[in-house]
């Protein structure tokens, strides 16, 4: 801001010295308080024209904040099909009715959310120094962000959606159908992505039920030497069909917020024949593509785990699946490749990332059991590093000084996110 007033270096230093003296014990300073002290410092140094310029700058800043927090003004932008509002989220089709309803709520939430945030956080967001993500949902609603859904618990023990109690599935087809319903409901109760951990190992027990059923039929109708192979071949077909259905269902889902749920599935660690078949089916289906035109599926985002001794080297048992994963990644962008040992080193345990590629840190409950599934992200605040670099003009000490200041603002923002998220059910 001082750069815009065309002051000499000595004038800047004099004013900065007055500001520092006034606020030496304060970590975060309100805009109004800063305005008063800067105005007084400019007047004390006989810089009346600079004081007038600064007052004009301050008033424009206040007007920008007032417009950003004006609910009616922001809704009018939506009705006028303002591009910045209508196309703000690539996961949302603004031609769909429930998306339009969500956009209406979003512009209102954005305006009210800026009023709820600590003032320094809200104004830093508007100035572009930081970015409070998902302002159309948070902090107005105390929702959580991305979730690593506990599919293991729900599929093993059953769960309730609406008024229906859903029992544990008895086939892989039913398991994947239940997964899509869980994803749709979770996505409607938060504002981020849904992740499924180790889906090959998760779904294997339900595919085994298919195998046992086919083997029972084979023993009744087929000669003994062909029974096992018959049951396996039928199970392979069931696995492929189930995984294809899951991909289609996820890509055709719309949550109550009018968007396709940002879904991530992780696989690659399974070693038995059923787990390997699930892995291969996921990759072959993605390589084939969607529909008659064989288009690349957007969701689910695939993440494939690479682990030494399992699939890294040609002598490893799952090396062939790793090669298929590389082919798929080359042709269809996904899967992303996860390095098992490095993730454990950095986060304390292995788990799939959220849709934005962030990982939960390792955590154990009061009994010492490691817990990953069922946990969620708080939500994101980004700092504008290129702007800090430009403002510091090659001065490394100044860069880190500005960086520390912005980190304090980010800390205040995230502390507020924590308090707000605690109110979510």
Domain segments of the chain as ranges:
130-137+380-425, 147-376
In whole angstroms, what separates CA 74 from the centre of its chain? 25
User: Nearest Cα to 305, choosing from 272, 340, 335?
Assistant: 340
First to last CA, the chain: 42
Sign of CA dihedral 130, 2, 402, 394: positive
For helices 199-221 and 273-288, angle between their N-to-C axes, nearest 10 degrees: 110
Distance CA 417, CA 142 (A): 9
Q: Are 266 and 195 in contact (CB under 8 A)?
A: yes
Write down the H helix ranges in 222-252: 224-251
- Three-class SS state of 337: strand
Q: Which helix (H) or strand (E) holds 412?
A: helix 396-421
Q: What is the DSSP string of 343-408?
A: HHHHHSS--PPPTTS--PPP-B-TTS-B--TTEE----EEE-HHHHHHHHTT-HHHHHHHHHHHHH
Question: Which CATH number describes the domain made up of 147-376?
Answer: 3.20.70.20
Q: Which helix (H) or strand (E) holds 180?
A: helix 172-187
Instruction: Find the angle CA(117)-CA(68)-CA(82) to the nearest 5 degrees.
Output: 130
User: Nearest Cα to 179, choosing from 157, 152, 198?
Assistant: 152
Contacts of 13 (CB under 8 A, 6+ apart): none
| Backbone conformation region of residue 47, classed left if phi is above 0, alpha if psi is from -120 to 50, else beta | beta
User: Nearest Cα to 28, choosing from 418, 405, 314?
Assistant: 405
> What is this structure's pTM?
0.76
Burial class (CB in 10 A: 0-12, 13-18, 19+), 187: buried
pLDDT in tens, 315-352: 999 999 999 999 999 999 999 999 999 999 988 888 88
User: Nearest Cα to 47, choosing from 57, 37, 39, 56?
Assistant: 39
Going residue by residue through the chain, which has 425 residues, state the pLDDT in tens, using 9 for 90 and above. Answer: 555 566 777 777 777 777 777 765 555 566 677 777 777 878 777 777 777 787 787 777 777 777 777 766 666 666 555 555 555 554 555 565 556 666 777 778 888 899 899 989 998 999 999 999 989 889 998 888 889 999 999 999 999 988 889 999 999 999 999 999 999 888 888 888 899 999 999 999 999 999 999 999 999 998 888 999 999 999 999 999 999 999 999 988 876 566 678 899 999 999 999 999 999 999 999 999 999 999 998 889 999 999 999 999 999 999 999 999 999 999 999 999 999 999 999 888 888 888 777 888 888 899 999 898 998 888 889 999 999 999 999 999 999 999 999 999 999 999 999 999 888 87
User: Nearest Cα to 86, choosing from 76, 143, 379?
Assistant: 76
Sign of CA dihedral 228, 304, 169, 256: negative
User: Nearest Cα to 246, choosing from 169, 170, 156, 178?
Assistant: 178
């Amino acid at each position: 801001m001082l750069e815009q007033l065309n002051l000499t270096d000595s004038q800047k230093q004099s004013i900065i010295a007055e500001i520092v003296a006034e606020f030496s014990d304060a970590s975060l300073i309100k805009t109004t308080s800063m305005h008063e002290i800067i105005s007084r410092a400019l007047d004390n140094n006989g810089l009346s024209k600079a004081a007038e310029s600064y007052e004009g700058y301050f008033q424009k800043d206040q007007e920008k904040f007032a417009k950003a927090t004006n609910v009616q003004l922001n809704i009018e932008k939506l009705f006028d099909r303002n591009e910045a509002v209508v196309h703000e989220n690539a996961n949302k089709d603004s031609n769909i009715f429930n998306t339009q309803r969500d956009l209406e709520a979003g512009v209102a939430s954005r305006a009210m959310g800026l009023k709820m945030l600590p003032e320094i956080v809200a104004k830093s967001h508007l100035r572009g120094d930081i970015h409070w993500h998902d302002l159309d949902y948070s902090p107005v609603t105390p929702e959580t962000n991305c979730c690593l859904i506990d599919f293991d618990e729900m599929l093993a023990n059953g769960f309730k959606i609406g008024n229906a109690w859903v029992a544990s599935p008895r086939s892989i087809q039913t398991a994947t159908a239940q997964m899509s319903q869980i994803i749709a409901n979770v996505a409607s109760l938060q504002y981020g992505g849904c992740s499924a951990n180790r889906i090959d190992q998760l779904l294997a027990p339900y595919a085994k039920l298919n195998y046992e059923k086919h083997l029972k039929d084979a023993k009744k109708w087929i000669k003994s030497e062909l029974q096992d192979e018959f049951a396996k071949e039928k199970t392979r077909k069931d696995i492929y069909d189930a995984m294809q259905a899951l991909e289609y269902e996820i890509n055709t889902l719309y949550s109550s917020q009018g968007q396709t749920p940002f879904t991530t599935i992780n696989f690659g660690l399974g070693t038995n024949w059923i787990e390997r078949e699930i892995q291969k089916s996921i990759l072959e289906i993605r390589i084939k593509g969607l529909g008659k035109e064989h288009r690349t599926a957007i969701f689910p985002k695939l993440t494939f785990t690479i682990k030494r001794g399992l699939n890294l080297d040609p002598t490893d048992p799952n090396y062939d699946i790793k090669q298929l994963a590389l082919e798929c990644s080359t042709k269809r962008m996904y899967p992303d490749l996860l390095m098992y040992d490095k993730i454990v080193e950095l986060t304390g345990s292995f788990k799939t990332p959220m849709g934005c590629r962030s990982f939960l840190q390792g955590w154990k409950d009061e009994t010492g059991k490691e817990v990953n599934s069922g946990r969620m992200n708080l939500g994101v605040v980004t700092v504008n590093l290129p702007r800090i670099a430009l403002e510091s003009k090659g001065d490394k000490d100044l860069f880190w000084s500005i960086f520390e200041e912005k980190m304090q603002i980010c800390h205040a923002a995230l502390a507020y996110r924590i308090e707000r998220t605690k109110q979510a059910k």
